[in-house]
Amino acid sequence: MVEALIESEQVCINVCNGAHEAEARAVLNGLRMERVTFYRIPTNEPWCRDHGPIFLTRNANADPRLAIVDWDYNAWGGKYPPCDLDEVVPTRAAQFLHAPVFYPRMILEGGSIEVNGAGALLTTESCLLNPNRNPSLGRAEIEQRLRDYFGVREILWLAEGIDGDDTDGHIDDLARFVSENTVVTVVEVNREDRNYEPLQENLARLRQMKVEQGDIKIVTLPMPKKIVREGQRLPASYANFYIANSCVLLPTFADPNDETALSALQKLFLDRRVIGIDCRELIWGLGTFHCLTQQQPAV
């Protein structure tokens, strides 16, 4: 993953301490290390998308500004304590970057929201409305905080996530904006699979949605075959890709549908190379490339 990304952008990696950094450098030996920056910000988990800083930009009087939103974090509804280190990562990152921080006082993971960059935000009811996140907040209050702290205007709700997803249904395993009015969404063709009905429901909802730019154009991706390890279904999904400056990292699973997903995305990203990387080991941690990363805008 890092080898592909350093050709596209600077890569920032959080490490616990000097020994951890040395271990990471040994793993990355032979790569262009001038393209890699280490930050000594200890974490409980590696899933930077969910606990890490979510960046905001604004251009006030031709003076670009970068800020960070630090949402509260409880390890996906209290599933994996402790999470005290992860909970403070955004503010710690802001200290390194000398960026202001906003505190919405609401639990939210980065993988639970997807934006089009033009005022629309896509999410799921099964995650954001789950009582294990913000039991004292209703849908209207949650929507208002999303508008207040992300600058979005439209909140678009899908229903449930995929089988095996321990996040209660993160959107980044389901549907992703690839332009202001184009959404890529995964579908399951096997009617016997537990993902068939939920993904059909989400597809039906998408077909009824509009954004300010008009109707949403929908492109479908297949799902890989069911992956089970030690009796546990793993949340393998081609929707968990990461969009970099000059490439797109696509998780693959040694599956016949790998090539179908790669070809479909390449048609959507004509200005980027879509790179498939085997994630059969990474998905054992219940996430892949989008879960592991968080983009930082250039200012």
Tokens 């549907």, residue located: 175
Q: Are residues 29 and 121 in the same domain?
A: no
| Residue pLDDT, tens place only, 106-133 | 999 999 999 999 999 999 999 999 999 9
> Cα(first)–Cα(last) distance of the chain, in Å?
24
Q: Looking at the domain assignment, is residue 75 inside a domain?
A: yes
Q: Are residues 46 and 89 in the same domain?
A: yes
| Annotated catalytic residue within 12, 48, 127, 291 | 291
Residues of the domain holding 14: 1-40
Phi then psi for 228, rounded to 5 degrees? -125, 135
Type of residue numbered 77:
G
Do residues 236 and 224 touch, judged by C-beta distance below 8 A? Answer: yes
Q: Is the peptide bond before 82 cis (omega within 30 degrees of 0)?
A: yes
**According to the model, what pLDDT value does residue 62 have?**
63
**According to the model, what pLDDT value does residue 224 have?**
98
Q: How many domains does the chain have?
A: 2
Q: Looking at the domain assignment, is residue 60 inside a domain?
A: yes
CATH code of 81's domain: 3.75.10.10
214 class by beta-carbon count within 10 Å (0-12 exposed, 13-18 middle, 19+ buried)? exposed
Q: Looking at the domain assignment, is residue 66 inside a domain?
A: yes
Q: Are residues 55 and 174 in the same domain?
A: yes
The reply to whether 83 belongs to the active site is no
Q: Looking at the domain assignment, is residue 298 inside a domain?
A: no
75 vs 87: CA distance, rounded Å:
8
Q: Are residues 99 and 19 in the same domain?
A: no
184 vs 221: CA distance, rounded Å:
7
Q: Are residues 158 and 200 in the same domain?
A: yes
Q: Are residues 159 and 213 in the same domain?
A: yes
Q: Are residues 24 and 58 in the same domain?
A: no
Q: Are residues 3 and 90 in the same domain?
A: no
Q: Looking at the domain assignment, is residue 8 inside a domain?
A: yes
Q: Are residues 121 and 224 in the same domain?
A: yes
| Residue pLDDT, tens place only, 242-276 | 999 999 999 999 999 999 999 999 999 999 999 99
CB atoms within 10 A of CB 274: 19
Q: Are residues 34 and 8 in the same domain?
A: yes
Q: Looking at the domain assignment, is residue 223 inside a domain?
A: yes
Q: Looking at the domain assignment, is residue 90 inside a domain?
A: yes
Q: Looking at the domain assignment, is residue 299 inside a domain?
A: no
DSSP, res 164: T
Q: Are residues 192 and 223 in the same domain?
A: yes
Q: Are residues 36 and 151 in the same domain?
A: no
- pLDDT in tens for each of the 299 residues of the chain? 999 999 999 999 999 999 999 999 999 999 999 999 999 999 999 999 999 999 999 876 667 689 999 999 999 999 999 999 999 999 999 999 999 999 999 999 999 999 999 999 999 999 999 999 999 999 999 999 999 999 999 999 999 999 999 999 999 999 999 999 999 999 999 999 999 999 999 999 999 999 998 999 999 999 999 999 999 999 999 999 999 999 999 999 999 999 999 999 999 999 999 999 999 999 999 999 999 999 999 87
pTM for this model (two decimals): 0.96
State how far the alpha carbon of 181 is from the alpha carbons of 123, 219, 236, 274, in Å. 15, 11, 25, 21
